[in-house]
Amino acid sequence: MGQFDINEIMADMAAAIKGSVSEDWKEVKPVVNQFLERRKERLSLMAELRITGELSAAEFTSRLENEKLLLEAELHAIAVIHKAIAQNAANAAIEVLEKAVQMALKSL
């Protein structure tokens, strides 16, 4: 997949979440790291299928929404996280992945 580095994207996703939860990062970090590690292979495959054209934009968007909801649900498990903070954190992470795939598609 050329310039699409899933490890770099995962680090960027974690940074996006950290930026959106700021003072709650200590509580959120373990959940985020576990989620990203468990979902890494799946997110990488989704990105690869989209970049190679095996997954349409609509299918990719739908699957990203599912991943966002899963991450949001895991973040809700942390009592200190308010619903809006969890939504913002999930949105920030998935936007990073989505933008990376768009950049990879443009470079083809």
Structure confidence by residue, pLDDT tens digits, 14-50: 999 999 888 889 888 988 899 899 999 999 999 999 9
CA distances to 26, 53, 97 from 101, rounded to whole Å, are 29, 11, 6
Check residue 80 and give its pLDDT.
61
Question: Is the predicted pLDDT of residue 2 greater than 70, yes or no?
Answer: no
Indicate whether 29 belongs to any domain.
yes
CA distances to 2, 39, 41 from 33, rounded to whole Å, are 25, 10, 14
Check residue 74 and give its pLDDT.
83
Question: Residue 79: helix, strand or coil by DSSP?
Answer: coil
**Section 67-83 average pLDDT:** 80
Check residue 1 and give its pLDDT.
46
The overall average pLDDT reported for the chain is: 89
Instruction: Give 78 or 14, the one with higher predicted confidence.
Output: 14
Residue span of the structural domain in which 25 resides: 6-106
Check residue 44 and give its pLDDT.
94
Judge if pTM exceeds 0.85: no
How far apart are alpha carbons 103 and 108 in whole angstroms? 9
Domain count within the chain? 1
Indicate whether 12 belongs to any domain.
yes
Indicate whether 1 belongs to any domain.
no
Check residue 79 and give its pLDDT.
60
Instruction: Give 46 or 80, the one with higher predicted confidence.
Output: 46
Indicate whether 95 belongs to any domain.
yes
